[in-house]
Amino acid sequence: MNKHHEARLRGLFLIVALASIGAGAIASRESAAAEKLRVGINLTTIETLPIYLAADGRDAIELVGGAIPALTAGKVDVVTNAETQAILRSTANPEIRVILTVAEYSYRIVARRSAGIATAADLRGKKIATQLNSSAHFYIAKTLGGVGLSEKDVTVVGVLPPDMPAALARGDLDAVSIWEPAAERSVQALGSDALIIRGPAYRERFNLNTTAAVVADPLRRAALVDLLRSLIRTSQEVRDHAERAQPLIAGKLNLPAQMVSTTWDLFRFPASIPDDLLDSMVEQEPWMAEKQGRAARPREAIAALIDASLWREAQASR
C-alpha cells in the first residue's frame, strides 16, 4: 500500500470516528432530554409556588404550561389541576391518578352590593360568572345549596378570568366565582361596592396528576417520588417563610406584591393527600355527572383515581 492510499484510509477512519462521536453526543443529549420529568403547570396561579421552588436549578425537571389534557395527550408526565378536573377528565381517561395535593384554596364569591346582594340568598335571579365545569363553578352550586337554592335559580355564565373584573365593574355581571388573582382583582375593581360571600366550607385541591402508565414505569415513578420529596421540603419552606415565598411567586406571575400578601391566608400548601380529599371528590361526582349527562360513579371508582403510594414513599425516604 503506497503512502497516498494510507493517507486516504487514515482520513476515512478519522471521518468515521468523528461521525461516531457526533452521533453518540446527539444520542446522549436525546437520552438526557428523554429522562427529564416533564411537569405541566398552571402559569397563572399562586398555587404553583412550591413546584417553582422544587424545580429551581434542577436540570432533570422541565416545566411547561399545561393541564390534564396535556397529560392524557402524552405531552407531560405529571400535571397540575384542581380535583374537579380529575373527575371531569377521568370519565374518558380512567387511568388518571391524583398523587399529591400541592395547594388548597378557599373560594369566595365576589358580588356587587349595588345589585341588591347582601347575602348568598340574594343571588337568586342574578348573573354569576365563572369558569364552567371547574372547582369555582362547583363552589357556586355548593354556596347556593347552603341557602336552599340551586343553579336553576341563577344564571351561570362562562367568562374568561381576566375579563371578569371589568365586566363586574360595568354591571354586566352581578357576581363572580373564580380563583386568584381574578377574584382579588374583582374586589379591587368594585371597591366599596364589593361584597364577599362565603358559602359552606370547601377548598379547591390543586393536585399533581399523572397516569397509571407513568406510575407503573420504574424510571418515571422514581422521578415522581423524587419530585414529591422535593415538594414536601419546599412546601415546608413556603409555610415557614411566607416573607420569602410571596415575592417569588409575585415575580413569577408578574403580580403586585400587595395582591399576593392580601390573598395569602386563602392558601395552604400541604404537600400531602388530605384525609377528606376522597370525600370531597365523591361529593362533586354527582354534580359533574349531571353536567356531563351521565350516571354518577360509585365511591370505589372515585377512590381508584387517588394513588397515595408515591406520597407515602416520598415521606418514608426523606
> pLDDT, tens digit, for every residue of 57-109?
899 999 999 999 999 999 999 999 999 999 999 999 999 999 999 999 999 99
> pLDDT, tens digit, for every residue of 96-107?
999 999 999 999
Chain mean pLDDT for the chain: 91
The pLDDT score that the predictor gives to residue 6 is 53
The pLDDT score that the predictor gives to residue 25 is 42
**What are the CB-based long-range contacts (under 8 Å, 24+) for 290-295?**
291/88, 291/133, 292/88, 292/91, 294/91
Residues in a beta bridge with 188:
none
Q: Which CATH superfamily is domain 37-105+205-316 in?
A: Periplasmic binding protein-like II (3.40.190.10)
**DSSP string of 156-188, one letter each residue:** EEE--GGGHHHHHHHTS-SEEE--TTHHHHHHH
Phi and psi (nearest 5°) for 104?
-130, 145
The pLDDT score that the predictor gives to residue 24 is 46
The pLDDT score that the predictor gives to residue 167 is 98
At residue 308, the 3 state secondary structure works out as coil
Same fold yes or no, 37-105+205-316 and 109-197: yes
Cα separation, 111 vs 165, in Å, equals 11
For the chain, residues with pLDDT lower than 70 are 1-34
Q: Sketch the domain layout of the chain as residue ranges.
A: 1-35, 37-105+205-316, 109-197
The reported pTM is 0.87
Q: Tell me how many degrees the CA angle 244-235-245 measures, rounded to the nearest 5.
A: 15
CATH topology of domain 109-197: D-Maltodextrin-Binding Protein; domain 2 (3.40.190)
